[in-house]
Amino acid sequence: MINKKISVSEQVADLSIQAQLLFTWSIPHADDVGVLPHSHRTLKALIVPMWNILLPDFDKIVAEIMKQGLWKEIEYNEQKFYGVTKFRDHQTLKKDRQPQILLDIVLDKDFKTSWKTVEEVMERIGFHVEDNGFQLDTEEKRTEEKRTELKRSEARATEKVVNETFEIFWVTYPNKVSKKKALQAWQKIAPRGELLETIMQGLEKAKKSAQWIKDGGQFVPHPTTWLNQERWNDEVITKTSRRVDKV
């Protein structure tokens, strides 16, 4: 598929209409690394077989494309070719199979090794192949996008629940200071299910402890401290607790 960005390319816009068509139509006719035959007779027959145009006029159109730097001449094993510059900017390419190439390069049975070999050769002859790694095919890409969106939806749902339960914790906690830091501590723990129940039960027990009741709650720790230190696991001594001495 040709990238739609080609329609806003200034280099392409500066071409005549015929040159624009020839360049654009050349992209799907190039091999997997953007290489085209050098013969103008072959190019005409390959790309625009229905054009009623003489070869000298075709030569002028090719010269336009070359002048804009959209094609460049390359040479391999004493043979000349044209290369579509920035080929990957215009064409989405699957790399899950053996590369289809015009250059006489011996390929490996492993297609990944073959791609590496081809790109190394292209580098050596001065035709850099822009590449960001193996591209997923359309179906794999859609599946990956769905999986990513599902993870994001789950993360948003979890964040919403965590923030809602924090508000319950905050209303219940007697020493309301540094709410923002307390929220960050709560989000780090992200309590749900059994852990959330354990924390809230621990808080209720702590609120009845002698330390928290003493002097009007003066010794109630900051909520951030209580959460970071997992104080809900403390053994709580309530005001009504009795000490039983051994006989």
- The pLDDT assigned to 131 comes to 43
CA-based nearest residue to 23, from 89, 99, 79? 89
The pLDDT tens digits of the residues spanning 96-151 come to 788 899 999 998 899 889 988 988 888 888 876 654 333 444 555 677 778 888 88
Tally of CB atoms within 10 A around 137: 14
Rounded alpha-carbon distances, angstroms, from residue 100 to 5, 70, 88: 24, 21, 15
**To which residue do tokens 């002698």 refer?**
210
Rounded alpha-carbon distances, angstroms, from residue 139 to 2, 144, 171: 18, 9, 49
- Residue 216 banded pLDDT, cuts 50, 70, 90: confident
What domains are there in the chain, each with its CATH number? 4-135 (1.10.10.10), 139-233 (no CATH)
Percent of the chain having pLDDT more than 90? Answer: 56
Please, are residues 162 and 192 in contact by the beta-carbon 8 Å criterion? yes
Q: pTM for the complete prediction? A: 0.52
Question: Which of 120-124, 130-134, 160-164, 235-239 is least confident?
Answer: 130-134
- The pLDDT assigned to 147 comes to 83
The mean pLDDT value of the chain amounts to 86
CA-based nearest residue to 67, from 5, 12, 110, 126? 12
